[in-house]
Structures are given as structure tokens and as C-alpha cells.
A and B are shown apart, each in its own frame.
Chain A
Amino acid sequence: MSITYHAPASWDEARTLLAEHGDDATVVAGGTAFTLLLRQGLIRPGHVVGLQRVPHASRIDVDAHGGIAIGAMTTHTSLEHADAIRRTWPELADAVAKVATVRVRNQATIGGSLAHADPASDAPVMLAALAAQALVVGEDGAHRVPVDELLVDTFTTSLLPTEVIRAVEVPARTPATRAVYLKYTLRSVDDYATVSVAARADMNDGRFDALRIFLGGVGPRPMRAVSVDRALTGQAADEALIADAVPLVDDDIDPIDDVRGSAAYKREMARVFTQRALTALGRMA
């Protein structure tokens, strides 16, 4: 078995390489997931396109309104500590700080985390709740895909083999925006989540507006708690109303039994942690 390693020095060069080798090529960002799959013998790509030499691929830009664009090659550690993120979306910095261990966070990138589409990963769940979009480049130029549409199934994105994620854009918040990410791990703190919940809302006069709740670990992709969103949008962050709405999360998730808990247990924990996330948003109002 031989692998040809390509190190493009620009996004254009990366696009050209993928147009040429698409189906037989794997894009590598930080390489944490890629290395495991390769060592387990589960993938045998003919070509590997490494993005380490693409300039400015780990830049973080903040626009005039406070919207941010995070270069795909930004590591979780850089994101966690970046001033630009701490100023705009500290909740996102806190969420990525919960990923695995410091060794993984030093290496794994935000673009890689999205492209790998592991349904139990942390960053994709939070990014989906924050209505983030991926800036995707491919043969036909660049376009944006909402994160919750990018992630379609277990380890599966809507990306074509010729496409690559260049950046992740998180829209600006308003002064009323609140967000929270809760991660419940059953075995050890550096494990994948049994259940994780990301929630964001604009808290206007103590009411939930533009509420977006996403859960990780309980379906083939980050699952939107759309029934709870609908029930509580426009409602007061009242303990009794929250308690009434939370059981609806059951209709929005599809967990299976695995080493991190039975499907029934994950359903129970999804209710518990959704309630905690909503209560936390209410307290921040």
C-alpha cells in the first residue's frame, strides 16, 4: 500500500488536488481522527491532502458587528485561548475546552472536527446551536453551509469529495444573547459525552427568543431539540414551564445503546441536561 502525501500551499492548490483525486483522497487537518483510522486499517486512501502549509488557515477574524470567522486549521487549544473568542463567544471557548485531553486539543482542529462528523464530538454541537456556518471551497468556488445541514449522519457530511472546509463562521450576538454548553461524561472527564447539550437564546425580558437547543451523543448527528425550542420560544424562563417542555426532547433524539450508556439512560440524561441548560440560560437573563 502506498500513499501519496500532498502539502498544498494555498486553498486553490488544495481544491485542484481534490478535483483531481477526490474519491481517492482524504483531507487531513490536525490528523487525530485520520491517524486512528489509518492505524486501525479502516481507511486506505491513495492520496492524502494535508492542510498544514496553507497560509493563514488558522486565523480568527472578528467583523465590525462581532461575527467571527475561525480558520479551519485553528486548534481547539488556540480557540480556547484566543482573545478574539474570549471577547465575542466565551461560551464557545468553554465548550471546546471540554474536548478530550490537552494533547488532543493541541492537535485537533475545528475544521477537522466538523469534517469528521463524529456525533459525540463537542464543538459541532455548540457550533450548531450558535447557528454557525461552514465556509466550503470546492470546484465551483466557495459557498456557505449551516453546520446543522453540513452534518448529515454518523461520520458523514454533505461535503462532496472535491470540497474542503476553509473556515467556520459564527454570527454576532446581541447584548441579550446567552449560551451554554453542558457535557455529561459517564466514564472519565476526557471521554466523549454520554449526552451533551448546547443551548443559545436571546433573553428578552426574561423570555426565550431565537432559542436553539442541540444535543450530542444521542443521534447520528447533533440533534436539534426542535419540539422544546418551539414550546419555549417566546415563553418566560420559568421553572414550571421549562419542566413541562423538557420531556418533549424525547421526540427529537435517537440514542442507541453503547459503552456510554443504554438508549433509555441517555434519554433520561437528555431530559436532565436539557433542563439544566435551560435553567442556566434563565439565570443568566
Chain B
Amino acid sequence: MKLAHTATIAAPADRIWAAVMDIPAAARCVPGVAAVTPVGPDRFKGQLLVQIGPVRLVLDGDIAVATRDDLAKRATLRADAKDSRLGGTVRASIDVSLTERAGACELRIESDVHIAGRIGEFGQPVIQRKSDQLLAQFTQCIARSAAA
């Protein structure tokens, strides 16, 4: 499942990039994320609570910064999470890029998400919509915190 989100942010590129790449702080921009803590260089662990109607997912997982180019302002993150109560895994590859455009910056987040196990039975459309909402809220929140 591929998802793409963009946000135009009126703030200096360096400041936006710093906000995005401060992973524990940026993670707080995702609704339902419990504390994200570093476990090594460019590695973090955290928990995401997602409620879709009657279904509650508790995703425990790791986030790793796979590639990072601060000059070009591009990075690839990998997230691996599982819900041990319901049984299921979520694996995501997330490409983040920032480009300056006529006084503003465009933040682009492209994700490729794979879902396996019981969580997947809930139906791809539902999950896609929820992931879409989370990503949209994340980009808006980053935009707000960088513009502040």
C-alpha cells in the first residue's frame, strides 16, 4: 500500500528539516504515539495506539533512519511494528524529502506500507484511510511546529 502526502510550509528549510529529523519530537506529531525513545544511533523504539471503531491496535516497534542526506534534505526511514495482542505486523518504508519553492518549502512523505496477520483482515481500505489520516495529521503538525 503506497501513500503520499505533501504539505507546503512557510518556514526556513533548515528549521523544518530539523523538526522532521528530530524523530522523538516528530513522532509526537502522530496522534496516538506513546513515548519514542532512542535505542542506538539512528534507532528508536516506540508505541502507536490506533483505534478504528471497535478495533484497538497497540503497535510496538522500531524506527530506523536508513539513509539521511541533510544537504539534499532527503531521508528514508524504516518502521517495523507488531501488535502482539491481536497478532499482526506492520512494516513501512518512508521517504521524506524537502524542497524549497518560491519562498516556501514542500515537505513530501511517501510511504510503502505492508501489513500482515490479523490486522490485515480488517481490510485494506480501512487501513489505508486510517494511515492516510495519520499521515495528514502528521504533516500538518510538522508544518505548525516548524512555522511556530
Contact surface of A with B, Cβ cutoff 8 Å? 26, 37, 40-45, 116-117, 154-156, 220, 256-258
Contacts and interface: CB of A to CB of B under 8 A. Distances in A.
B118 interface: yes
Contacts of A37: 54-55
12 contacts: A26-B54, A37-B55, A42-B54, A42-B118, A42-B121, A43-B55, A154-B52, A154-B126, A155-B53, A155-B54, A155-B126, A256-B128
Contacts of B122: 40, 42
Contacts of A116: 53
A43 B86 CA distance: 8
Interface in B78-119: 85-87, 118-119
Nearest to B123: A258
A42 B118 CA distance: 7
A44 B129 contact: no
Interface footprint category on B: 10 to 19
Contacts of A40: 118, 121-122
Nearest to B121: A40
Interface string B53-90: 11100000000000000000000000000000111000
A117 B51 CA distance: 14
A235 to B, nearest CB: 34
B125 A256 contact: yes
B130 interface: yes
B54 A258 contact: no
A44 B123 CA distance: 18
A279 B53 CA distance: 36
B137 interface: no
Contacts of B119: 42
A154 B130 contact: yes
A116 B53 CA distance: 8
B129 A156 contact: no
Given A40-B118, A41-B87, A41-B118, A156 B125 contact: no
Contacts of B118: 40-42
A23 B121 CA distance: 23
Contacts of B126: 154-155
A266 B107 CA distance: 29
Given A37-B54, A42-B122, 4 more contacts: A155-B126, A256-B129, A257-B125, A258-B125
A37 B126 CA distance: 14
A44 B118 CA distance: 13
Given A42-B86, A256-B128, A155 B121 contact: no
B55 A155 contact: yes
Contacts of A220: 129
Interface string B32-44: 0000000000000
